[in-house]
Amino acid sequence: MAQEASAGARARGGAREDSWGSVAPEAARRLLVAAVDAFAERGFHATTTRDIAGRAGMSPAALYIHFRTKEELLFQISRVGHERSVRLLTEAAAGPGGHADRLAAAVRTFVRWHAEHHTTARVVQYELSALGEEHYAEIVGLRRRSEDVMRTLLADGAAAGEFDVADARGTALAVLSLCVDVARWFTPGGRRTPDEIGAFYAELALRMVGVRR
């Protein structure tokens, strides 16, 4: 899970999650990976710590050495995933080209990640309600940073006359919602690869802001 998949696997939508490479020790990383699979398959509330530990090849007691609660595991998964989202969008929004090029790059990259890593993304995006109040507030803050990146890109494009956007904040939420939803329905081996879906959604986003090319 900690290494990038081959280019061939990526093209087929089979890339493995690379977000946990910085997590140490290795046992904690194994538990995070196991928790992602369990939460995505069964949901947070139906998953037990015994189930997570078993998937990681560890005893239930070993889990508590690295994480105090099941909720803390979910928080760490959510935090890493949302930090990745902020980074992907920020880098694309600051990239080369005009505003249309940067919007297309941001959407293409964001959608591709949600398709390639759909298992992780489903947990990151759809299990927020299970977080405790303090952890929930921190994750909401990260989500707002992603929204701010997209809103600023759209507002700047409108100010430059490249976009026809009356409500930058509302449009940003609409674009990001489209991107995030890919994780809900994407299936490896489907009709379109993550790259193709990213390109398609980038074109949709450009049309939403009045760009035809």
Q: Domain residue spans in the chain?
A: 7-208
Q: What is the pLDDT of residue 27?
A: 86
Please determine, looking at this structure, whether the domain spanning 7-208 carries the CATH number 3.40.47.10. no
Residue whose token pair is 């904690």: 28
Burial class (CB in 10 A: 0-12, 13-18, 19+), 207: exposed
d(CA 168, CA 150): 8
Residues of the chain with pLDDT below 70 are 1-24, 213
Q: What is the pLDDT of residue 74?
A: 96
Q: What pLDDT digit, counting tens, does each position of 127-141 carry?
A: 999 999 999 999 999
Q: What is the pLDDT of residue 159?
A: 96
Q: What is the pLDDT of residue 95?
A: 93
What rounded mean pLDDT belongs to the chain?
88
Burial class (CB in 10 A: 0-12, 13-18, 19+), 128: middle
Q: What is the pLDDT of residue 10?
A: 37
pTM, two decimals, is: 0.84
d(CA 56, CA 63): 9
Nearest CA to 109 among 5, 198, 197, 8?
198
CB atoms within 10 A of CB 131: 20
Q: What is the pLDDT of residue 26?
A: 84
